[in-house]
A and B are shown apart, each in its own frame.
Chain A
């Protein structure tokens, strides 16, 4: 049997019966390695170890931690005032406040699931009380939290950059503009819905400069996290990993020293959770590296590239196909393994067609962020529904409507790479 066929077949069978993806990757690779006498077995352990032995990946636990520590400090509450002063006076104010708080939270947390939990608890009940349709309140909260992995920091960016060996810092900064555009267009769409259903404003007129300054004062300490991360990377003060650790140390200082809202037992729990999640992610990275090595050994990426070039040599067509592929993966697979497994296969095609690696990375990460909203496996939606005790089946219509702006930004970024590349080209020209 063709080893490549055997590899994919055994991998597909294992994941479809529900074996962990890390195990499916490792076991299917080992079956092929045992059968092929040309491959020394020690490659497996060596590859796995080398994949984990990477300073870049160390950013993962800390991009999770900066968000969860600040969450203990009740940042969601602290950001509301500022958001109210910005968008509270528009029709459907509370929905826009949710998106704005989501955007700022996204600048603090590198994971969307933590954000979905925080936003759902704080915003869904009051929206229901204020007479918003239940399904709309759940859907807009889920969409707002999906920005968590797009606006820097983002653990998906760290993983993609590590797998593709590109600059984490550049990819992080590249996501800022499309992420903000997504947030703003989400507000436009929810404003449209607010007009149709006549949702209330939170204040009759704009609260004024004074309220804005007061809101800023309250938000300035949490906002230190994105300033440290983006500012530190852009200014060349430190690497992305160092930025993640310093941001975590800063968050600790704020929540323990200033807010005094984090007890030691909680701290132990939060640290351990971030560490254990990192272990699961990196175990997947480790076994995927064996799988990836085998693919390269059998020249699968080369063949895929040749096959693709046979049909089309258009970078845009390729990027659109990448969006289709990762959208499909996003409906049933976690973003982390999807990126780890499929990135090595698309990279050489992108290279052959001259797609900018940062552009390709941003497209993949943004599409996988949208995957957090597509059912059956749309984590942000599932979390928002679980917390608000609202049936998933009833959100669908309005959810798909609210995904349109997100999808439009992804498509625009596909056709106009400048949307992604302009900020890093201006700020960190030597990395792009």
Chain B
């Protein structure tokens, strides 16, 4: 499981790099076209940038889970000692799990409605944008399961 998760993260580093690079190109082009070519603004470039950002954000939640990067006040768990500290952290992970499962379920419904809706400028199906929400939730859940496993392992280790 650990290996799988590490590989997932390595792949995601490249994916996120791709998103940021694409965003850089997209917005630079928007400015270039407006000023240098003196042509009217591409209406779709801003929309495209927003969609790329949304994909990057929802897929990136999981990497934050893996690296414990989500803002938290980590004061109580270290004070509780190894075993109870791990237990409280496990509970916090569980809370994250609840949010992610809800995000997955709501995201699926949201994505379904995206089948009947086009984006105003590029006229792509919103399905392709909304799909980032459930997909990101699944990816994040995979990371979370691995982390909870290692927490349980920590708690057991503290017993012996």
A residues with CB within 8 A of B: 14-24, 26-27, 30, 41-42, 44-46, 49, 52-55, 57-58, 61-62, 65, 237-238, 241-242, 245-246, 248-249, 252, 267-269, 271-272, 274-280, 282-284, 286-287, 332-334, 336-337, 376-377
Q: Which residues of A contact B30 (CB under 8 A)?
A: 242
- Smallest CB separation, A274 vs chain B (Å): 6
B residues with CB within 8 A of A: 12-14, 16-17, 19-21, 23-24, 27-28, 30-31, 35, 46, 49-50, 53-54, 56-61, 63-64, 67, 69-77, 88-89, 91-92, 95-96, 98-99, 102-103, 106-107, 109-110, 130, 133
Q: List 11 additional A-B contacts (Cβ < 8 Å) besides A22-B70, A279-B63.
A: A15-B73, A18-B77, A49-B110, A55-B50, A61-B20, A242-B31, A279-B59, A280-B60, A280-B61, A280-B69, A282-B53
- Quick check: A272 and B17 within 8 Å, CB to CB? yes
Q: Which residues of A contact B96 (CB under 8 A)?
A: 19-20, 23
Q: Which residues of B contact A19 (CB under 8 A)?
A: 72, 91-92, 95-96
Q: Which residues of B contact A26 (CB under 8 A)?
A: 99, 102
- Quick check: B49 and A58 within 8 Å, CB to CB? yes
- Smallest CB separation, A163 vs chain B (Å): 15
Known contacts A23-B92, A61-B20, A279-B57: does B28 contact A287 (CB below 8 Å)? no
Known contacts A20-B96, A21-B72, A23-B96: does B57 contact A55 (CB below 8 Å)? no
- Quick check: A280 and B70 within 8 Å, CB to CB? yes
Separation of A62 and B20 alpha carbons in the complex (Å) = 9
Separation of A282 and B71 alpha carbons in the complex (Å) = 11
Q: Which residues of B contact A282 (CB under 8 A)?
A: 53, 57
Indicate which residue in B21, B46, B60 contacts A55 across the interface (CB closer than 8 Å): B46
- Quick check: B49 and A55 within 8 Å, CB to CB? yes
- Quick check: A334 and B20 within 8 Å, CB to CB? no
- Quick check: A271 and B16 within 8 Å, CB to CB? yes
Separation of A53 and B130 alpha carbons in the complex (Å) = 11
Separation of A276 and B136 alpha carbons in the complex (Å) = 13
- Quick check: B17 and A276 within 8 Å, CB to CB? no
Could you list some 27 contacts between A and B, CB below 8 A?
A: A15-B73, A16-B75, A16-B76, A17-B76, A18-B74, A19-B95, A20-B72, A23-B70, A26-B99, A45-B106, A45-B109, A49-B130, A52-B58, A246-B28, A246-B31, A267-B17, A268-B13, A271-B21, A272-B16, A278-B60, A279-B56, A279-B64, A280-B70, A284-B70, A286-B57, A334-B71, A377-B73
